[in-house]
Structure 1
Amino acid sequence: MTYLAAPKRTPFIDVLQGAIGLGRKLGVVAPSTLEKDALMSAAVEQTGLDDFGDPWFTGPFSVLLDSIREEARLNRAGEFAARLQFGKVLADRLTAIEWYKRRPEILERSIPRPVVIVGPMRSGTTRLHRLLASDHRFSHMRSFETISPVPRLDFEKVLARKKRDFRPILASRVMRIARLANPRTLSIHPTGPFEPEEELGLLVNSMYGMKHEAQWRVPTYGRWCERIDATPAYRHLADLLRLVGWSQQVSEIRPWILKTPQHMLDLPALMEVFPDARIIFTHRDPKKIVGSAASLAWNQTAIYSDDVTPHDVGQEWLRKSVLQVERMMAARSLVPADRRIDVGYEAMDRDWQGTMARIYAFLDLDMAPAMSAMQNYVDRSRRLKRTPHRYSLEQFGLDEGEVRARFSAYATRFAIPEETGQPGAVATARRAGGAA
Structure 2
Amino acid sequence: MTAPNDIVIDDLADPRITPAIAAAREGPADFPADIDVDGILARASAMTGGLTDFGEDTGFRERLAVVIQSLHEDEGLTRGGRITILDHAVRVMANRLRIEDLVKKHPEILDITIDRPLIIAGLPRSGTTHLVNWLARDERLRSLTLWESEEPVPSAPPPAPGEPDPREVRSAEFWGHFESMLPHMAAMHGMEASSIHEDNELLYMDLNCYSWEFQTRLPRWIDHYFAHDRTGSYLYEKKVLQVLTWFRGPNRWILKSPQHMENLEPLKAAFPDATLVITHRDPVAVIRSLTTMLAYGDRIRRDPVDPAGCARHWSDRIERLLRECVAQRDAWGPDQSLDVLFHEYMADQEATLREVYDLAGLELTAEAEAKLLGYLNENPRHQHGRVIYDLEGVFEVDVPKLRERFQFYYDRYPVRWED
> What is the TM-score of this pair, normalised by structure 2?
0.90
Deviations 1:308-362 (Å, cap 9, x if unpaired)?
4111111111111111111111111111221111111111111111221222222
Alignment of 1:142-153 (within 5 A): 142-152=145-155
Deviates more, 1:391-400 or 1:107-116: 391-400
How far residue 286 of structure 1 moved from its aligned partner, in angstroms, is 2.0
The answer to whether residue 129 in structure 2 is matched with residue 126 in structure 1 is yes
Q: 1:276 aligns with which of 273, 277, 280?
A: 273
The aligned residue for residue 95 of structure 1 is 98
Q: Given residue 36 of structure 2, which amino acid in structure 1 is its aligned partner?
A: E
The CA deviation at 1:67 is: 0.2
Percent identical pairs in the alignment equals 27
Letter in 2 for 1:287: V
Letter in 2 for 1:200: N
Residue type of the partner of 1:11? T
* SS of equivalent to 2:74: helix
Within 1, Cα distance between the matches of 2:47 and 2:115?
36
CA distance, structure 2, for counterparts of residue 401 and residue 19 of structure 1:
39
Q: Matched residues in 2 for 1:216 and 1:331: separation?
A: 27
1:35 and 2:36 equivalent? yes
CA separation in 2, counterparts of 1:349 and 1:205? 34
Aligned counterpart for 1:86 among listed residues 83, 86, 89: 89
- Match 1:11 to one of 11, 18, 21: 18
**Range that drifts further, 55-64 or 216-225:** 216-225
Where does 1:220-231 land on structure 2 (aligned, <5 Å)? 220-231=220-231
Change (3 A) 1:72 1:167: farther
Counterpart position of 2:402: 403
Distance 1:374-1:161 versus aligned 2 partners, 3 A rule: closer
Q: One-letter code of the match for 2:349?
A: W
Structure 2 residue 126 is matched with structure 1 residue 137 = no
Question: Residues 104-162 of structure 1: CA distance to partner in whole angstroms, max 9, x if unpaired?
Answer: 1222211111111111111111111112111112111111112222322x44xx26777
Q: Which amino acid aligns with 2:406?
A: F
SS, match of residue 337 in structure 1: coil
In 2, Cα distance between equivalents of 1:165 and 1:205 = 21
Distance 2:179 2:237 in 1: 28
Amino acid aligned to 1:388 = R
Where does residue 53 of structure 1 map in the other structure?
Answer: 55
Alignment coverage as a number of residue pairs: 408
Cα 1:18/1:68, change in 2 over 3 Å? closer
CA distance in structure 2 between the aligned counterparts of 1:32 and 1:39, rounded to whole angstroms? 11
- Please tell me whether residue 352 in structure 1 is matched to residue 349 in structure 2: yes
RMSD of the alignment, in Å? Answer: 2.3
Judged with a 3 Å threshold, the aligned counterparts in structure 2 of structure 1 residues 223 and 293 are, in CA distance, closer, same or farther, namely farther
Give the direction of change, closer, same or farther, for the CA distance of 1:173–1:361 in structure 2 (3 Å limit).
Answer: same
* Residue identity opposite 1:372 in structure 2: A
State the Cα deviation string for residues 175-207 of structure 1 (Å, max 9, x = none). Answer: 112112322221111241111111011111122
Q: Residue 109 and residue 160 in structure 1: after superposition, are their counterparts in 2 closer, same or farther (change >3 A)? A: farther
Query: Which of 336, 341, 346 is equivalent to 1:339?
Result: 336
Using structure 1 for the length normalisation, give the TM-score. Answer: 0.87
Q: Is it true that 1:264 corresponds to 2:271 in the alignment?
A: no
- Native 8 Å contact 1:214 1:296 kept in 2: no
- What residue in structure 1 maps to residue 5 of structure 2? none
Pair 10,258 (structure 1): closer, same or farther in 2 beyond 3 Å:
farther
- In 2: Cα distance, 1:398 partner to 1:367 partner: 44
Q: Give runs of aligned pairs for residues 281-430 of structure 1, distance below 5 A.
A: 281-369=278-366, 370-382=368-380, 385-394=383-392, 395-420=394-419
Cα displacement string for residues 394-424 of structure 1 (whole angstroms, at most 9, x for unaligned residues): 232222102211112212322212234xxxx
Question: Partner of 1:396: helix, strand, or coil?
Answer: coil
Question: Are residues 373 and 413 of structure 1, via their aligned partners in 2, closer, same or farther at CA, if it must alter by over 3 Å?
Answer: same
Gaps of 5+ in 2: 3-7
**Does the aligned pair in 1 maintain the 2:26–2:78 contact within 8 Å?**
no
5+ residue gaps in structure 1?
A: 421-436
Rounded to whole Å, the distance in 1 between the matches of 2:33 and 2:237 is 28
